[in-house]
Amino acid sequence: MKIFIGSDHRGVDLKYKLTDYLKENGLVIEDIGIPNNKQDDYPEFAFKLGELVKENTNSLGILICGSGIGMSIAANKVKGIRCVRAVSVDDAFKGKNHNGCNVMAIGSEVTTNFNLVCEMVDTFINTKTASEERHIKRVEAIKKYEEEN
C-alpha cells in the first residue's frame, strides 16, 4: 500500500517527522511534491493528494495543515475522496471503519503530541474499511449521491 502525504507551510515540520516514522515502519510513502512557502494555499495540496489517491487503487492519503479543517474540506471536494479530520484515535478509526475514508487530515497546531499523531495514523492505516451493513449502506449512499450530482 502506498501512502501519499502533503502539507501546507503550517504542517511541513510534522510532515517530515511523520514521513520518517512511517518509512522506519516499512511503509511506502510519497510526498506529493509541491514545494512549501509562507504563501502556499492548502487547497492546492488537498486537491493534488486527492487526485493521486483516487488514481492509485488501495492507496491512502495524509494531509497536514494548522487545524486540519481546511485540508479536509478541500480534499472532500475531490470525487471519490472521503477525508476525515482526525484529532483522536477514535476519529481515525471511525473515519476509516464507519465512513470508508481514504484520506486523513491532521492539524499540526491541534494535535501537538507526536505519539498521539503516530497512534492516529497507525490506526487509520491499519483499520479495515466499513464491514457492518449499516456503515456500508451509508458509504454507498454517499458514493451514489456523488456520482449523480
Q: Which residue in the list 65, 83, 101, 118 is annotated as catalytic?
A: 65
**Per-residue confidence (pLDDT) for residue 75, from 0 to 100:** 98
Rounded distance, CA 19 to CA 31, Å?
8
Q: Which residue in the list 9, 83, 98, 101 is annotated as catalytic?
A: 98
Q: What kind of fold does domain 2-148 have according to CATH?
A: Ribose 5-phosphate Isomerase B; Chain: A, (3.40.1400)
Q: How many CA atoms lie within 13 A of 63 on its CB side?
A: 38
- The mean pLDDT of the chain is 95
SS3 of 94, please?
helix
Nearest by Cα to 97 from 114, 82, 117, 118: 82
| Tens-digit pLDDT profile for residues 6-40 | 999 999 999 999 999 999 999 999 999 888 888 89
Can you read off the three cell numbers belonging to residue 2? 502506498
Rounded distance, CA 113 to CA 57, Å?
31
Q: Which helix (H) or strand (E) holds 65?
A: strand 60-65
Q: Is the pLDDT of residue 3 over 90?
A: yes
Give the model's confidence band at 111: pLDDT under 50 very low, under 70 low, under 90 confident, else very high.
confident
Q: Is the pLDDT of residue 144 over 90?
A: yes
Task: Report, as an integer, the average pLDDT of 64-75.
Answer: 97
**Percent of the chain's residues with pLDDT above 70:** 100
Rounded distance, CA 120 to CA 25, Å?
15
Per-domain boundaries in the chain: 2-148
Looking at this protein, which amino acid is placed at residue 54?
Answer: K
Residue 9 known to be catalytic: no
Instruction: For 21-135, list the strands marked E by DSSP.
Output: 28-31, 60-65, 83-85, 103-107
